[in-house]
Amino acid sequence: MPDNKISRRGLTNRRRILVLALCLLIILSILVLFRAIKNNIYWLSGFLFIIPLYFILARSYLHYRRMKNLFRLRQNWGQRVRRERNFNYIRLLFDKLQAEYIITTKESPYIDEETWQDLNLDEVFARLDNTQTTAGETVLYHMLRNPLFNKKDLLKRDRIIKEFQLNQEFRERLGLELQQLKRQYDNSLVELLWNELPAPSPFGLFLNLLVLPSIAIIISFFFLGGMALFFLSLALMINSAVNHFFKKRYFNKLPTHSIKYLSSLIKTADNIIKIENPVLEEYQAELRVLIPQVRKLRAKVSNIIPKSVKGELDFLYEYLNILFLIEIRNFNSVLRLLQEKQEVLQRVFILVGEIDALLAIASYRESLTYYCVPEFREEDDGLRVEDVYHPLLEDPVANSIEIKDRGLIITGSNMAGKSTFLRTIGVNTLLAQSIATCLATSYRGKMFKVFTSISRTDNILQGKSFYFAEAERLLEMLNAVRGEFPALCIVDELLSGTNSAERLAAAEGILDYLYENNVLAIVATHDLELAERLQASYDTYHFTDKVSKDGLDFDYKLKKGIAVSSNAIKLLEYLGYPEEITEAAIKRISLIDKK
C-alpha cells in the first residue's frame, strides 16, 4: 500500500510535476522529430530513450491516481457522504427480490412501505451509505429492507464489519478495487440481470458467414483492382441493412451500456478473490466457483466498443464494424452467454454488493459517538435498550427502556419527544437485525418483525378518510400477530381520527388483543384515560415539558408513570394567539375538570 502520509497539497504538487514532465517530454519529442526531418534521420534514434520515458510517466500517473483514490477513501472513512440519491433506482434490486419472494412464500420478512416511510428510513439509509459502487448501494438498501431472523448470519456480518474497522490495509485494498467499478447513474444492470432477456438471434451462423464475402473482397483488390470497389460497396450496403435490423431488434431492448459495466463487475470480483483475508473466505470461495463461468463473457464484452471510446477513429471503425459486423456478432454471443449465466451473474452482483455494503457499515460505525452489537436471546420475552438515540439527530438525548411481557404506553405533551422515541426504538430494532449495529450502549431482546403506524394521512385519490386509513393499517398489524415471526407494533395516537368515546373503546380493545396475543406493542397517546385503564397489562411512561411566554423547554427524558400535564393551550400562547381564545380555552378546561 502507498505511504500513510498522503495530503491534498502533496497530491497537488505531484500532479503539477506530472503535467510539467509531460510538457517537457512533448517538447523534447518535437525537437527530436524536427531535427530528424531537417538535418539527419538518425536523430530518430533519440526516441529509443524518449519512449521509455513515456512509459515511466504513464506508470507515475497511474501511481498518482491510486494515491488520489486512496486519499479520497481516507477522507470519507467515518464521514457522512453527501450526494444526490435517486431512490427509484436504488430500490430496484429490493423490488425485484421482494416480488420473487412473495410469489414463492406466504409471509414476507421485508419491511413494508408504511413502516419504511414512518421511520424515515430513506434518510437513515443516506446517513450510513458510504458505498463505492452501484452494487453496494442497492444491496445495502436491500439489507435494510430485509432484516434477518438468523443469529448466525448476523454474527457473520458483524465479524466482517469488525475486520474492516480494525484492518486498515485490508479495507483500503478492497476499497481501491471497488472504486474502479464506480457507479451507474440509472442502476440498469439490475434490470439487465433480473429481467427476462430476449432470445439471441437464430441467425448467428448466418452473421458469421456474411463476414466471409467481406474478407474475399479485401483479398480481391490484389487481383481485380478497382473492380473490387463495386463488390465492396455492395457488401457495405447489405451488411449495413443487416446491422440496422439487428440493432433495432436487440440493442434497443436492452440497456447495452450496462453490458460494459457488467464486464467491470466481473473484473472487480476477480480482483477481490486475490485479496487474502480469512474473514472473506466464504465470499471468495463462492466467487472462485462463479467467476470462471463468466470470464468468457467479459472477453466478448470487450469487443462491444461504445461510441465514446472510438474518438477520432470513429468513421474508420464504423466502416470496419459494418463490413465485418463486429458489434452485432459479438453482441449476439454476449446475449447467449447472458441467458446461460444469468443466475451466476446475479449472484456475483450480490456478493460484490454485500462486501461493499459491509465496508460502508464499518465506516458508519466509526462515525458514531457510541454503538453496540445487539444480543439476541430466545428466552427473553421483550426488549431492553440502554442509552439509545436516533441516528438522524445532531444532538440526541439518549433514553433507556426495558419491556418484558407487557406492552408500553407513553403519554406526554406535544413536541416533548414521544414520536421521536417511537422512531428511535423502531429504527434501532431494524438496524440491530440488518447491520448488527445499535445506537445504544446495550441492546438485548428477541428478533422482531416491525410494524408501525405513525405518519398517517387521508387518501383523497382512493376516497379514504384519516380514520379509515388508520383502521386499515391497524388491521394489517392484527393479522401479522399470526405470522411466523414475533411482532413489534409501534403506534402513534391510536385511532385519533374519530370521536372520543368510540376511540377509547376501540383502542382499548385493540391493545388488549395485542397483549393477549403476546405482541410487543409500544403506543404513544395524549389520552390519559386510556393509559389509566390499561395499567394492568401495559407499563406507562411519559415525557414532560415547560412552556411559557418566554419559550419552550423540553428535556426529552423518558420518565415512569402517566403524564400529569399538557401544553396544547400553552403552545397557543407561545405562538401569539389572541388572549380571548387562550383564556376561554383555559376556563373551559377548568369546567371540564370540575365535572
Encode pLDDT of 419-468 as tens digits: 999 999 999 999 999 999 999 999 999 899 999 988 765 443 444 567 77
In angstroms, the CA 205 to CA 211 distance is 10
Each domain of the chain, given as residue ranges in start order, spans 8-76, 87-201+250-367, 375-564
Stretch among 146-155, 201-210, 540-549 having the lowest mean pLDDT: 201-210
pLDDT at 391 over 90: yes
pLDDT at 595 over 60: no
Predicted TM-score (pTM) of this structure: 0.83
- Percent pLDDT > 90 in the chain is 34
Burial class (CB in 10 A: 0-12, 13-18, 19+), 471: middle
SS3 of 252-276: HHCCHHHHHHHHHHHHHHHHHHCCC
Residue type, 437: T
For 116-147, what is each residue's pLDDT tens digit?
Answer: 999 999 999 999 999 999 999 999 999 999 99
Mean pLDDT, rounded, of the chain: 82
For 15-38, what is each residue's pLDDT tens digit?
Answer: 888 889 888 888 888 887 777 776
Report CA torsion sign: 283, 288, 289, 295: positive
Pair 439, 385: CB distance under 8 Å? no
Contacts of 420 (CB under 8 A, 6+ apart): 390, 393, 556
For 350-367, what is each residue's pLDDT tens digit?
Answer: 999 999 999 999 999 999
Pair 96, 194: CB distance under 8 Å? yes
- Give the CATH number of domain 87-201+250-367; options: 1.10.1420.10, 3.40.190.10, 3.20.20.70, 1.10.8.60: 1.10.1420.10
Where does the pLDDT of residue 307 fall: very low under 50, low under 70, confident under 90, or very high at 90 and above? very low
With vertex at residue 245, the alpha carbon angle to CA 244 and CA 247, rounded to the nearest 5 degrees, is 65
Of 58, 90, 70, 74, which is closest to residue 2 (Cα–Cα)? 70
Strand 545-548 and strand 551-554: the pairing is antiparallel
Domain 375-564 has CATH 3.30.420.40: no
- Percent pLDDT > 70 in the chain is 83
In angstroms, the CA 571 to CA 569 distance is 5
pLDDT at 3 over 90: no
DSSP assignment of 547-561, as one string?
Answer: EETTEEEE----EES
